[in-house]
Copies of this chain bind each other. A is one copy, B any other.
Amino acid sequence: MISQAEENYLKAIFKISERESKAANTNAVAAELKTTAASVTDMLRKLAEKELIHYEKYRGVTLTTEGVREATFLIRKHRLWEVFLCERLGYTWDECHDLAEQLEHIQSDDLIDRLDEFLGKPKFDPHGDPIPDFEGNITERQQRLLSALVVGEKGIVVGVDEHSPAFLQHLNRIGVVLGVKIEVLEIFEFDGSVRLRLNNGGEIVVSDRVSNGIFLKI
């Protein structure tokens, strides 16, 4: 039995390891979970005891195979609930995260399989992030950051690299949501901002912060 607190630690460690592709250190986990280093040390000892993580004092932490399995299933649950919240209950992509954060802790594998079925076995969540299947397999999509494109290239918005409500609300405001077609018209050397054409229609200029947070399929 894994408690909710333990689940949150597994997810945090998974997220950090994915981001930094090395062992997650105590402070990073504390920052991710907005808690203290002391609390993290306590919990790491417990998770190591349960063989969900590899942990050596002062050496950082990585997930074991079982830990990765658990974390992946949590992500599957989180993203399926997000699809439900957005597609069925009308939440916007900036609103669904916190609720999914609660719902992902509901204990029932069968429920998730049925929810998956009910939603039509979606492959991506409302932010374009891939949903692991029931075995934990993730179909990674071929995608590039908008900021990595050169003038003249085109693509379709398939995801975001930043998930903050503020960022997502800004994208809504400027009309950049999943599925929108983008063509890079001009890149301003000065500050990295980019002029775009959307869906072969209107032109907008976005900052480098924005172009660094949008994934496109070319």
Contacts and interface: CB of A to CB of B under 8 A. Distances in A.
Interface of A: 85, 88-91, 99, 102-103, 106-108, 111, 114-115, 118
A133 to B, nearest CB: 18
A89 B81 CA distance: 13
A114 B99 contact: no
A114 B118 CA distance: 18
A161 to B, nearest CB: 27
Contacts of A115: 89
Q: Which 4 A-B pairs have the closest CB atoms?
A: A89-B114, A102-B106, A89-B118, A99-B108
A118 B118 CA distance: 14
A74 B85 CA distance: 20
9 contacts: A85-B111, A89-B111, A89-B115, A90-B114, A91-B114, A99-B108, A99-B111, A102-B108, A103-B106
Number of copies: 2
A114 B88 CA distance: 9
A157 B89 CA distance: 31
Contacts of A85: 111
A59 to B, nearest CB: 36
A99 B106 contact: yes
A26 to B, nearest CB: 29
A115 B108 CA distance: 20
A152 B108 CA distance: 46
A107 B106 CA distance: 13
Contacts of A108: 99, 102
A91 to B, nearest CB: 8
A103 B91 CA distance: 18
Contacts of A107: 102
A107 B105 CA distance: 13
Contacts of A102: 106-108
Contacts of A103: 103, 106
Contacts of A88: 118
